[in-house]
Amino acid sequence: MPTLAPSIIASDAGRYAACADEALRAGAEWLHVDVMDGHFVPNITIGPDVVRALRPVADEHDAALDVHLMMEAPEQYVEAFADAGADVLTVHVEACPHLHRVAQDIRAAGCKVGVALNPATPLGHLDGILPFVDLVLVMSVNPGFSGQAFIPESTAKVQRVRRRLNALGSEAYVEVDGGVGPDTALELVQAGAEVLVAGSAVFGGANSTEHNLQALREALTLRV
C-alpha cells in the first residue's frame, strides 16, 4: 500500500492539530503541509509556526511531516522549517535557479530532499538533480488551491519519473499531489506513485475523515 499523506490545509483551519490527529488515528502515515506565499502561487497559507504546532501530533503517531514549499526563494526559509520540525522539505524546480545548493541546504538542515514539478514543466528539468533527491513530487493540478480536478496526463508523467529513478538505481519516493481520490489513486499507484497527497478527498464532504481514508484504501485494494 502506498503512503497516504493528507493535506492539512484542506482541513478546518481552526482545528489543524485536531484534524491531523483524526487523520493519523484513521491510518494516515504522513501529514502534508502546503506552504504558499502568494507570489509563486496565488494563495497564502501558513508558516513555520503551524509546522511546529503539528510536530507533537506527528510524533505521537510516529508520522512524518512532509512540508511542500510553494514559494519564491525557498532557500531563505529552509532553516526555519527544519527547526520547526519538518522531516521532508520539497521545493519547486521552477523556483530554484540554484537547485543543487538548495538541496544541499535542506540535507544539511537534517531533512529529506524533495523536488516538485508543476504540470506544464518538462521532466528534463529534473535531469541534473535526480541523483540527489529523496522524493519527487508530481503536481497533478496547478498548485495554489485545494479541490481542483485531476489532470489526466499526470499518470503518464508519474510513470516516466519512476522509470528515470529506477534507471539511476534511486529509491526516491514518487509523490503525487492534486485531485487524488478514490477515482484516481489506483491508476497513480500502478504508474509508480508511492506517496499520495489528498486534501479534499480526506477532509472534504459530509463524511468523516476516517470514512474518507477508508474509501481511499478500499480503492487501492483493487490493485492486481
Distances (CA, A) of 107 to 89, 100, 133: 9, 11, 9
Give one word for 47, left, alpha or beta, with left for phi > 0 and alpha for psi -120 to 50. beta
With 0-12 / 13-18 / 19 or more C-beta atoms within 10 angstroms meaning exposed / middle / buried, residue 14 is exposed
Q: Is 177 one of the catalytic residues?
A: yes
Assign 160 to helix, strand or coil: helix
Catalytically annotated residue among 21, 34, 66, 134:
34
Which backbone phi and psi does 199 adopt, to 5 degrees? -105, -80
Q: Is 62 one of the catalytic residues?
A: no
Catalytically annotated residue among 37, 66, 134, 177:
177
- Which candidate, 83, 87, 79, 89, places its Cα nearest to that of 35? 89
Which residues are marked as active site? 34, 177
